[in-house]
């Protein structure tokens, strides 16, 4: 591996070096480790937005080598989901990643990650039980198989990158909880950092799937954040039930029927109906036009009157 790939580069004009194979990635990381450098890792499926870039910047501020993966993982998409039409723009992503501070981008083909094809996998990494059987993991929704696909690919990437720190966004709150549990249970030597959701000026959580929204649906989608704000205000003033009802009213005004709108313990994802001493997540998922969107708000006990 050319050591120049690990040196600082003029990120404003030159895209981050892109690696296509596991051997290239391992060689680059091994070189950094031999030099005693810390490794920060940002896994993405691409079509980068400011949420992704905030993770890269955080990694840049803390770590010597910043690795970003760019891989649309087929094992986390169910039948009828948007695997084939998921937005992609590699050239743009490489430039943005470099400008934000990525040193290397791992952008493999599917066959490099899954040599027998993504349908030929014999070994999965799976977090079972409450964490993956509710909300998006409910069998009537994306199902626990979605999270099995996530944890399997993240475990593979952790093995390849060997990061000291890995960065995820709060918007995918359930995913973050599941990955924390996987790391704890399997003793991965990596610190998980979950950073706040990045929003558009009108409050819509940034998501690659926002690209699916037309102008009218884009405006309607802002109701998700308003609903979560209403849920937090209502929970502070009158309890969780009051907060959830206020959120439902806000969604109804925009003509949105939520797939789910629930209050859950922020660590165990058990359903909660009272504000106690532990942080609480209020989570929402809804189909808005052609896009299935998710969002959440984290309510800390110190924020509750």
pLDDT in tens, the chain (305 residues): 333 444 444 444 567 899 999 999 999 999 999 999 999 999 999 999 999 999 999 999 999 999 999 999 999 999 889 999 999 999 999 999 999 999 999 999 999 999 998 888 999 999 999 999 999 999 999 999 999 999 999 999 999 999 999 999 999 999 999 999 999 999 999 999 999 999 999 999 999 999 999 999 999 999 999 999 999 999 999 999 999 999 999 999 999 999 999 999 999 999 999 888 899 999 999 999 999 999 999 999 865 44
Residues 174 and 240 in one domain: no
pLDDT at 13: 54
Which one-letter DSSP state was computed for residue 66? E
Which of 49, 52, 146, 300 is labelled catalytic?
A: 52
Which residues touch 170 (CB under 8 Å, ≥6 apart)?
A: 176, 194, 195, 196, 197, 296, 298
Residues 185 and 141 in one domain: yes
Which tokens belong to 21?
């194979």
Q: For this structure, is 52 an active site residue?
A: yes
Residues 62 and 169 in one domain: yes
pLDDT at 276: 82
Distance CA 113, CA 9 (A): 28
Domain count, the chain: 2
In a domain, 293, yes or no: yes
CATH of the domain at 257: 3.30.1300.10
Residues 231 and 161 in one domain: no
Q: Where are the alpha helices (DSSP H) in 162-239?
A: 173-186, 215-221, 223-238
Residues 241 and 276 in one domain: yes
Which string of b and e fits 277-304 if b means at least 16 CB within 10 Å? Answer: eeebbbbbbbebeebbbbbbbbbeeeeb
pLDDT at 14: 67
Q: Centre a 10 Å sphere on the Cβ of residue 35 and count the other Cβ atoms it contains.
A: 11
CB 237 within 8 A of CB 272: no
pLDDT at 5: 41
Q: What are the angstrom distances between the C-alpha of 51 and each of 13, 167, 280? A: 21, 11, 22
For residue 260, give its domain range: 208-303
Residues 218 and 186 in one domain: no
Which tokens belong to 299?
């309510």
Distance CA 190, CA 41 (A): 10
In a domain, 202, yes or no: no
Which string of b and e fits 134-165 if b means at least 16 CB within 10 Å? Answer: bbbbeeeebebbbbbbbbbbbbbbbebbbbbb
Residues 183 and 53 in one domain: yes
Residues 118 and 28 in one domain: yes
In a domain, 203, yes or no: no
Q: Nearest 5°: phi and psi at 5?
A: -65, -25
Distance CA 38, CA 65 (A): 6
CB 72 within 8 A of CB 46: yes
Q: Centre a 10 Å sphere on the Cβ of residue 9 and count the other Cβ atoms it contains.
A: 16
In a domain, 46, yes or no: yes
In a domain, 291, yes or no: yes
Sign of CA dihedral 266, 269, 270, 271: positive
Query: Of 276, 299, 296, nearest to 286 (Cα)?
Result: 296
Domain boundary, last residue among 195, 218, 252: 195
CATH of the domain at 15: 3.40.50.620
Residues 60 and 133 in one domain: yes
Domain boundary, last residue among 144, 173, 195: 195
In a domain, 200, yes or no: no
Residues 235 and 101 in one domain: no
* Single pTM value for the model: 0.92
End-to-end alpha-carbon separation of the chain, Å?
A: 56
Residues 185 and 221 in one domain: no
Distance CA 5, CA 180 (A): 31
Region of 168 on the Ramachandran plot (φ > 0 left; ψ -120 to 50 alpha; else beta): beta
In a domain, 181, yes or no: yes
Domain boundary, last residue among 165, 195, 225: 195
Residues 45 and 172 in one domain: yes
Distance CA 192, CA 183 (A): 8
Distance CA 97, CA 39 (A): 16
């Amino acid at each position: 591996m050319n050591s120049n790939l690990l040196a600082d580069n003029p990120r404003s004009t030159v895209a981050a070096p892109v690696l296509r194979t596991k051997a290239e990635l391992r060689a680059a990381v091994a070189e950094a480790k031999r030099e005693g450098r810390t490794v920060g890792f940002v896994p993405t499926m691409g079509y980068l937005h400011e949420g992704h870039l905030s993770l890269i910047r955080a990694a840049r501020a803390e770590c010597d080598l910043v690795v970003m993966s760019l891989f649309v993982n087929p094992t986390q998409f169910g039948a009828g989901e948007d695997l084939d039409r998921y937005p992609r723009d590699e050239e743009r992503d490489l430039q943005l990643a470099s400008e934000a501070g990525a040193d290397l981008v791992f952008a493999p083909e599917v066959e490099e990650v899954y040599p027998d094809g993504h349908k030929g996998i014999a070994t999965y990494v799976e977090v079972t039980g409450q964490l993956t059987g509710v909300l998006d993991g409910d069998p009537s929704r994306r199902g626990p198989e979605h999270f099995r696909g996530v944890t399997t690919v993240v475990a593979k990437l952790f093995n390849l990158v060997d990061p000291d720190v890995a960065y995820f966004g709060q918007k995918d709150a359930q995913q973050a909880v599941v990955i924390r549990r996987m790391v704890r249970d399997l003793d991965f030597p990596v610190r998980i950092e979950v950073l706040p959701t990045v929003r558009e000026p009108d409050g819509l959580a940034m998501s690659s799937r926002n690209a699916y929204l037309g102008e009218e649906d884009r405006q309607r989608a802002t109701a998700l954040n308003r609903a979560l704000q209403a849920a937090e205000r209502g929970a502070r003033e009158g309890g969780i039930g009051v907060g959830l009802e206020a959120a439902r009213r806000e969604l109804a005004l925009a003509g949105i029927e939520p797939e789910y709108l629930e209050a859950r313990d922020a660590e165990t994802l058990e359903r909660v109906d009272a504000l106690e001493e532990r942080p609480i997540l209020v989570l929402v998922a809804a189909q808005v036009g052609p896009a299935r969107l998710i969002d959440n708000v984290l309510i800390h006990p110190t924020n509750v009157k």
